[in-house]
Amino acid sequence: MKLILLGPPGAGKGTQAERIAERYSIAHISTGDMLRAEIKAETPLGVEAKSLIDRGELVPDEIIIGMVKNRIGMPDCENGFLLDGFPRTIAQAESLMGFTGIDRAVCIEVPDESIVGRMSKRRVCPNCKRTYTVDVLEPDEDGGYTCLDCGTKLIARDDDRPETVQHRLNVYAEQTFPLIDFFEARELLSRVDGDKSMDEVADSIFELFE
């Protein structure tokens, strides 16, 4: 199964992607996670990507396309894959459809008003990468939060600052939102209501495939 997960930043793509990939035994490919790994390893690509990401800009298409094409060729993708955070532009989508077939693009729809609030509450574990919405956690004595899986102190992502979030939403509206029409025109699009609990959203995604 070859899937794409679409939706605005903060729609819960990462969380849903993990669940879907696990359920269908397919590889979870998150371009955001791949880029953050490059940043952490301080590779030339990581250094270039960091300044763009921190400003809420997209990384150039050629770089991302090369990265995904290479990743999809790896052995763990033989059974299929789920793309999370890619494609983000029409150019990326056209290129993708040129080098692989796609079975379905699932769009998680969330009203704009919900997104900024969600992203200000987002924290991530720097060790195991699990993401949280602080609502589900009890604060530590210092007001911070700790990962339930590995006990590491959670952090907010640099690009989740309110100024950057607004810019990312503009970039989404201009460059990524048109992909919904792109996949609809190819009869590959399914929509799910993302303004619900993580479990409810997961259930409506699984229903699409049953």
Longest dimension (CA), the chain: 52
What distance lies between CA 156 and its chain's CA centroid? 16
Which of these ranges, 27-35, 93-101, 140-148, 177-185, lies near ligand ADP under the rule CB under 6 A? 27-35
85 binds, among ligand ADP, Zn ion, none (CB under 5 to 8 A by kind): ligand ADP
- State which of residues 53, 107, 179, 202 lies at the interface with ligand ADP (CB under 6 A): 53
Q: Which of 157, 161, 191, 196 is catalytic?
A: 157
Integer Cα distance of 206 and 23 in angstroms: 9
The smaller minimum CB distance to ligand ADP, of residues 28 and 88, is found at 88
What does the alpha-carbon distance between residue 158 and residue 136 come to, in Å, rounded to a whole number? 21
Residue 153 annotated as catalytic:
no
* Residue 58 in contact with ligand ADP, rule: CB under 6 A: yes
Query: Is 104 designated active site?
Result: no
Q: Which of 28, 39, 86, 183 binds ligand ADP (CB under 6 A)?
A: 86
Q: Are 84 and 171 in contact (CB under 8 A)?
A: no
Strand partners, 191: 107
Give me the torsion for CA of 192, 197, 198, 200, rounded to 10°: -60
Shortest distance, CB of residue 198 to ligand ADP, whole angstroms?
15
Q: Which window, 37-45, 57-65, 134-142, 202-210, contacts ligand ADP (CB under 6 A)?
A: 57-65
Q: Which helix (H) or strand (E) holds 56?
A: none
CB 11 within 8 A of CB 120: no
| Amino acid occupying residue 145 | Y
Q: How far apart are CA 112 and CA 148, in angstroms?
A: 29
Name which position in 37, 74, 136, 150 contacts Zn ion (CB under 5 A). 150
| Mask for 134-173, x = binds ligand ADP (CB under 6 A) | -------------------------x--------x-----
Count H helices, E strands: the chain? 9, 7
Shortest Cβ distance from residue 130 to Zn ion (Å)?
Answer: 5
Tell whether residue 112 is a contact of Zn ion (CB under 5 A): no
Which active-site residues does the annotation give?
13, 88, 122, 157, 168
The contact set with Zn ion (CB under 5 A) reads 125, 127-128, 147, 149-150, 152
